[in-house]
């Protein structure tokens, strides 16, 4: 198993990166919380990883903190969740918020995760309520929540440096990120069309606004 990847950040998108390690590029799928913390392209980066083996592919999922990685592993073990929904959960809520929601048996809050309905949310509560306390605690400086919000608020990226992508390429990347989180492409396109131009120039801000609308 590949436990971590350290190399040069060659590419980054809201849901995936390519890390160059000695001339070999590793494509790694990430949650939004990791995307927001990435360095600039061309700089050194280290990601904690989990390998996900499917019949047709071997995929790497990457995280900044041990808490995110451990929570991904536990979520992925729940029947009906899988790697994609586990990543969507970590892109929607901070680890503390997920743990708190499960502890309070708050299925309504968990159902806000894209692709997770009330039935799967209840399954998360039943299967995880006795397993999550063993996760390593997250410190406030490594797992921020939006300013002025509680720990149960969705974890949405803070502002990042403006992108140099063209508007068309950025929109494609944003649609791809939202689709990977479980939303339909038509809904992603519809929401992005409602965002003002200044928000669309920054992927973190655009995703923050789109997620706020789509999770209502």
The CATH number of residue 28's host domain is 2.40.50.140
Q: What is the pLDDT of residue 61?
A: 94
Is the pLDDT at 150 greater than 70? The verdict is no
Mean pLDDT of 141-157: 38
Q: Is residue 149 part of a domain?
A: no
Is the pLDDT at 123 greater than 60? The verdict is yes
| Segment among 40-44, 52-56, 166-170 with least mean pLDDT | 166-170
**By C-alpha distance, which of 36, 17, 35 is closest to 27?**
17
The pLDDT > 90 percentage for the chain reads: 20
- pLDDT for 55-73, tens place per residue? 777 889 999 988 889 889 9
| Distance between CA atoms of residues 159 and 52, nearest Å | 30
User: What spatial distance separates the first Cα and last Cα of the chain, rounded to whole Å?
Assistant: 38
Q: Is residue 142 part of a domain?
A: no
Is the pLDDT at 75 greater than 80? The verdict is yes
Q: Is residue 119 part of a domain?
A: yes
- The domain of 48 spans 4-63
Q: Is residue 192 part of a domain?
A: yes
Residues 32 and 54 occupy one common structural domain? yes
Ordered DSSP codes for 33-68: HHHHT---TTSEEEEEEEEEE-SS-EEEEEESSHHH
Single residue among 12, 29, 63 that ends a domain in this structure: 63
List the Cα angle 109/114/120 in 5-degree steps: 65
| Distance between CA atoms of residues 28 and 6, nearest Å | 12
SS3 per residue for 141-170:
CCCCCCCCCCCCCECCCCCCCCCCCCHHHH
Mean pLDDT of 109-134: 82
Residues 6+ apart with CB under 8 A from 116: 81, 85, 88, 89, 110, 124
Q: What is the pLDDT of residue 216?
A: 63
Mean pLDDT of 103-119: 86
Residues 105 and 55 occupy one common structural domain? no
**By C-alpha distance, which of 39, 36, 63 is closest to 51?**
63
Q: How many domains does the chain have?
A: 3
Tell me the pLDDT band of 212, cut-offs 50, 70 and 90.
Answer: confident
Tell me the pLDDT band of 30, cut-offs 50, 70 and 90.
Answer: very high
Residues 74 and 128 occupy one common structural domain? yes
**By C-alpha distance, which of 206, 210, 212 is closest to 162?**
206
Residues 6+ apart with CB under 8 A from 83: 29, 52, 59, 61, 72, 76
Q: What is the pLDDT of residue 29?
A: 94
The CATH number of residue 188's host domain is 1.10.8
């Amino acid at each position: 198993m590949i436990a971590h990847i350290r190399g040069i950040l060659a590419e980054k998108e809201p849901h995936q990166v390519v890390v160059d390690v000695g001339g070999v590029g590793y494509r790694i799928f990430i949650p939004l919380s990791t995307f927001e913390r990435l360095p600039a392209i061309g700089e050194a980066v280290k990601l904690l990883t989990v390998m996900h083996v499917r019949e047709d592919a071997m995929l790497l999922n990457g995280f900044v903190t041990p808490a995110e990685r451990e929570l991904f592993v536990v979520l992925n073990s729940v029947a009906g969740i899988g790697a994609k929904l586990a990543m969507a959960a970590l892109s929607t809520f901070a680890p503390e918020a997920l743990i708190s929601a499960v502890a309070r048996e708050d299925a309504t809050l968990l159902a806000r995760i894209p692709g997770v309905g009330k039935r799967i949310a209840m399954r998360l509560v039943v299967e995880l309520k006795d397993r999550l306390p063993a996760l390593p605690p997250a410190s406030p400086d490594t797992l921020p929540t939006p300013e002025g919000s509680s720990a149960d608020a969705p974890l949405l990226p803070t502002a990042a440096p403006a992108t140099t992508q063209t508007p068309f390429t950025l929109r494609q990347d944003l649609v791809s990120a939202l689709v990977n989180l479980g939303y339909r492409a038509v809904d992603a396109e519809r929401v992005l069309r409602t965002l003002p131009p200044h928000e669309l120039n920054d992927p973190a801000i655009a995703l923050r606004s789109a997620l706020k609308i789509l999770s209502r």
